[in-house]
Structures are given as C-alpha cells and as structure tokens.
C-alpha cells in the first residue's frame, strides 16, 4: 500500500485507473467523427449526402472545383463551427448560410465571389471571416451592426473601393487586412475599434491618398502597414500610438514626416508627429484673435440699424453692433461688449 501511494504521488498510477485515458480517447474520436473532410477531391459538384449533417462541426470542402453549394446542404449544418470552402470556383454563397448560428470560422478565399450574401449578418457567432483573392467590389453595408464577435476580417486581394460604414461597430475586431484593393478611404469612426491590434491597408496604390485622424486613436494598435499607397502626410494623431511596434510606409510620397524620420525609428516618427501636433495647437491659439480683428469683429463702427460687408472678410457678412431693448439695460450690455473690452479708451460719447 505504501508503494502504491508513492507511485500515485509520483504520477505513475492514474487514481482513476484507465478510465481517464479511455475517456480522453473516446472524446478525441468523437471530435474526429464530427469533422467531414471532402477537400482536394476535384469535385465539380457535391454528391447527394444521405448522412446526418446535424452533428458535423467542421466541414472542409476546400481545393475542389465547386461552382455552387446547394442551399439544402448548408441549411442542414446546424452545428457547424468551421466551414472551409476556399480554392473553388464559387461565384456566390447560398443565402442559407444565415442559418449557421454556431459558425465561428468561415473561409471563402480563392473563389470568384463578387459579393457576400446579406444573410451572413445572421452568423452572429462568427469570429473569423476570410474572403481573400476574390472579385469582391463591396461588403454588406450593415455587416458590423450584427457581427459583434468578429475578431479577424481578412479581405485582401479584391476590388473593394470602400469598407462598410458599419465597420466601426466591430468592437471585438483585432485584425483587419484590406491590402491589395482599391480603397479610396477608410471608414469613419475607426477610433471605436479599441481592440484592433493589426491594420494592413497596404498596396491600394494611387487610390488611397490619406489616413483619417482616427487612426491615431486606435489605442491597442501594434502593427500598421500603409506601404505602397499615395499618402503624402501622416495624421498628427499617430504620435499617440504608444503601443505601435511595427510600422511600414515604404512606397509612399511622404513629405510629413519625411521618410528619413520614419526610417530612423518609431520613436523618432512619434516625436515628430507629436511636436507638429503641439505646434499646430499653439499656432491656433495665437491666431484666433488676429482673425477676429481681420474680420472686423472688434473694430466695426457701431451704426444702429445697418449691416455692411467689411473688406477682406472672405465673403462673410459681419453685423454691426446694435443695442438690445427690453431684455437688459443697453448701458450694461455696452459695458460688456467686445468693442469696449478690446478697444482703447476714447473720450467719445457713450452709446445708449
């Protein structure tokens, strides 16, 4: 008994006998039975499947020549978690894909898809969507309103001119890959993607000319690739990307900051952008008063009942000061008027 206890303490004997190992083996076998692998079979069409698809959790149809997937087959995959149909000849996906309420990973890369069905929004458990190397010209506009669990969106090598305006609602997103498209701009509200760690919008070439200010507000961003675009200036806000560890901007006509600053180090780039941001703020504070003077806000002659256009006001109509009757004393209002506060004292009659 003492020897057996020693073996048990040293791990040589399973306290549950062989039941634990047998249970693990059965569990592994059970999981394997739930995977249906029909990849690489050179199929032009799916055969008639008489088996129960309700227990399948992983369906692999990749590397075939499928041009379509029957609606009825997809609708029967009630428990599927991973659906892999990459590297086929699919021109569309069945609308019944919206029935896959447990789907977490969808890979449709390497097909001929021009769009995704709107019903994909019903796959609310989806965590990864891979749709690279297709002919996509757009994504469903409201995609982000429903896919709150999406962590990875990969749509590189398509023909996308824009990302959905609802992208900013994908608050769980950690990786966004939209390189090799025709993106003209990034969607508004990117600052809402507080968990985004990797953003790749490289190789949109002459289409992408600027980055939004919100890029610098991506508080979790660690990797940013904007190489081979037509970006001349990075937003000042990028000086706030303290977690950024990898950045590439090669192949852009960068002027601000200069490429030699970018090539020097991330710290040098952040310092440059931060200094420019601070200088810009100080400059704005110093210039607001001269602009008011330029527009004659404080120097206009007070001619009651008249409105005139001042010179050099760039088309702005500036109303002369006039007193208000009935609300407060005109004399009191005159004491607090901008003209009185900012003009030198004169021995002229007070306006009533």
Mean pLDDT of 322-335: 46
> Over 80: is that where the pLDDT of 258 sits?
yes
Q: Give the tens place of pLDDT for each residue, 177-217.
A: 999 999 999 999 999 999 999 999 999 999 999 999 999 99
CATH of the domain at 112: 3.80.10.10
Residues forming beta bridges with residue 265, ordered by sequence position? none
pLDDT-derived band at 67, boundaries 50, 70, 90: very high
Residue 327 has pLDDT above 90, yes or no: no
**Per the domain annotation, does 12 fall within a domain?**
no
Instruction: Using pLDDT thresholds of 50, 70 and 90, give the confidence band for residue 280.
Output: confident
Question: Which of 335-343's residues contact partners 24+ apart within 8 Å by CB, and which partners?
Answer: 338/297, 338/298, 339/298, 339/299, 339/300, 339/302, 342/298, 343/298, 343/299
Enclosing domain of residue 74: 30-135
Residue 283 confidence (pLDDT): 54
The verdict on 114 and 36 lying in the same domain is yes
pLDDT at 224 over 60: yes
| DSSP-assigned states of every residue in 59-110 | EE--SS--S---HHHHHT-TT--EEE--SS--S---GGGGG-TT--EEE--S
* 221, part of any domain: yes
Identify the domain boundary among 251, 280, 309: 280
Of 45-54, 116-125, 182-191, 299-308, which range is least confident? 299-308
pLDDT in tens, 297-310: 344 444 444 444 44
Q: Residue 288 above 60 pLDDT?
A: no
| CA 132-137-140 angle, 5° bins | 90
User: In terms of Cα–Cα distance, which of 222, 104, 112, 185 is closest to 152?
Assistant: 104
Average pLDDT over residues 316-332: 44
With a cut of 80, say whether residue 13 has pLDDT above it.
no
Closest listed residue to residue 113, CA positions, set 126, 95, 131, 100: 131
Q: What is the pLDDT of residue 281?
A: 56
- 279 pLDDT band, cuts 50/70/90, is confident
Residue 314 lies in a domain: no
Q: Residue 51's pLDDT is what?
A: 86
Whether 313 is covered by a domain: the verdict is no
- The pLDDT assigned to 50 comes to 84
Q: Which residues of 260-277 are buried (b: 16+ CB within 10 A; e: fewer)?
A: eebeeeeeebbebbeebb
Rounded mean pLDDT, 45-56 = 91
pLDDT confidence of residue 31? 52
- Position 19 confidence tier, pLDDT thresholds 50, 70, 90: very low
Q: Is the pLDDT of residue 174 over 60?
A: yes
Q: Which of 227, 249, 280 is the last residue of a domain?
A: 280
| pLDDT beyond 80 at 287 | no
Give the domain-ending residue among 135, 159, 194.
Answer: 135
Asked whether residue 216 is assigned to any structural domain, the reply reads: yes
Query: Does 89 or 297 have the greater pLDDT score?
Result: 89
Q: Say if 295 falls within a structural domain.
A: no
Do 130 and 183 lie in a common domain? no
Cα distance between residue 233 and residue 71, in whole Å: 48
The yes-or-no verdict on residue 315 having pLDDT over 70 is no
- Assess if residue 337 is contained within a domain: no
Q: Cβ distance 196 to 169 under 8 Å?
A: no
Is residue 274 situated within a structural domain? yes
Instruction: Give me the chain's average pLDDT, please.
Output: 82
188 and 249 inside one domain? yes
Average confidence (pLDDT) over 272-291:
67
Whether residue 187 sits in one domain with residue 126? no
Domain count, the chain: 2
- Residue 352's pLDDT is 39
> 282 pLDDT band (50/70/90 cuts)?
low
Would the CA dihedral through 264, 266, 269, 272 be positive or negative?
A: negative
């Amino acid at each position: 008994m003492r020897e057996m206890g020693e073996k048990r303490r040293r791990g040589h004997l399973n306290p549950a006998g062989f039941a634990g190992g047998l249970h693990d083996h059965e569990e592994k076998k059970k999981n394997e039975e739930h995977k249906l692998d029909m990849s690489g079979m050179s199929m032009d069409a799916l055969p008639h499947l008489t088996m129960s698809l309700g227990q399948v959790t992983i369906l692999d149809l990749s590397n075939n020549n499928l041009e379509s997937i029957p609606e009825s087959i997809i609708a029967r995959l009630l428990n599927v978690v991973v659906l892999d149909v990459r590297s086929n000849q699919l021109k569309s996906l069945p609308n019944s894909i919206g029935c896959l309420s447990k789907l977490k990973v969808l890979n449709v890369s390497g097909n001929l898809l021009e769009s995704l069905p709107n019903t994909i929004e019903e796959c609310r458990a989806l965590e990864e969507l891979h749709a690279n190397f297709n002919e996509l010209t757009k994504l469903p506009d409201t995609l982000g309103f429903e896919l709150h669990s999406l962590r990875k969106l990969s749509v590189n090598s398509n023909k996308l001119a824009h990302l959905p305006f609802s992208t900013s609602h994908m608050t769980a997103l950690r990786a966004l890959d939209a390189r090799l498209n025709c993106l003209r701009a990034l969607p508004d509200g990117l600052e809402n993607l507080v968990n985004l760690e990797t953003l790749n919008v490289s190789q949109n070439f002459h289409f992408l000319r600027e980055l939004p200010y919100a890029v610098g507000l991506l508080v979790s961003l660690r990797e940013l690739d904007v190489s081979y675009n037509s970006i001349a200036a990075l937003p000042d806000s990028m000086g706030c990307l303290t977690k950024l560890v990898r950045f590439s901007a090669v192949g852009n006509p960068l002027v601000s900051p200069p490429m030699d600053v970018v090539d020097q180090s991330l710290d040098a780039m952040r310092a440059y952008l931060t200094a420019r941001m601070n200088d810009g703020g100080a400059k704005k504070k110093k210039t607001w008063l001269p602009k008011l003077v330029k527009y004659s806000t404080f120097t206009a002659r007070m001619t009651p009942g008249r409105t005139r256009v001042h010179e050099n006001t760039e088309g702005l109509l500036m109303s002369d000061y006039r007193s208000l009757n009935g609300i407060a004393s005109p004399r009191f209002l005159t004491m607090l008027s901008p003209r009185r506060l900012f003009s030198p004292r004169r021995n002229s009659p007070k306006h009533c």
